[in-house]
Amino acid sequence: MRCPKCSSDDLKVLETRPGKVASTRRRRECLECGHRFSTIEEVLHEDLAVVKRDGRRESFDRTKLAMGLRRAIAKRPIDAEQINALLSETLRRIENEFDSEVPSRAIADAIMHRLRKVDGIAWLRYASFYEDFMELSRFAEEILNLGGGKKGDEDSD
């Protein structure tokens, strides 16, 4: 761990507390420059493999998932805590449901299920990439569902 301001590795932990959804939040101080910052620690899930649509397998990468989600929430009133919680909840659900391999579609479905509850526009952006909206009428139907309060086929957690 290095200071984000001066890159020193001479840090002190000021406070440790449980974070939201199976994480640890630490408040740190750099002993070089005095900068204070927070970190969130989670268990890495290195043995999880994602099975792509074409059958390829690659290691699960939370950063890649977060980047796709951040594109969907761009300029939306959603804070980083909500996104981290959404990602953590999704990972927990996937790990409980799958052993070592998970279809990419299952990850997308789990994200979309939670994102729809957080922000309808962000959900539509995310879904427009992962859903096969081959016809404009299907896309328009989803937009109308968002505006009318109809939630479609959501399953409960």
pLDDT at residue 10 above 90? yes
Q: Closest Cα to residue 131, out of 145, 46, 35, 16?
A: 145
Amino acid identity, position 43: V
Measure the CA–CA gap between 32 and 28, rounded to whole angstroms.
12
Helices 62-73 and 80-97, interaxial angle, to 10°?
Answer: 130
* Residues of the chain above pLDDT 90, percent: 20
Token duo for residue 12:
């002190």
Give the pLDDT score at 36. Answer: 96
pTM, to two decimals:
0.58
pLDDT at residue 140 above 90? no
Q: pLDDT tens digits, residue range 88-118?
A: 888 888 888 888 889 988 888 888 888 888 8
Q: pLDDT tens digits, residue range 63-85?
A: 888 888 888 888 888 887 888 88
Long-range contact set of residues 4-11: C-beta below 8 Å, sequence gap at least 24: 4/35, 4/37, 5/30, 5/33, 5/35, 5/37, 6/30, 6/32, 6/33, 6/35, 8/32, 8/33
Q: Closest Cα to residue 64, out of 81, 55, 52?
A: 52
Token duo for residue 83:
């996104």
Give the pLDDT score at 3. Answer: 93
Give the pLDDT score at 157. Answer: 46
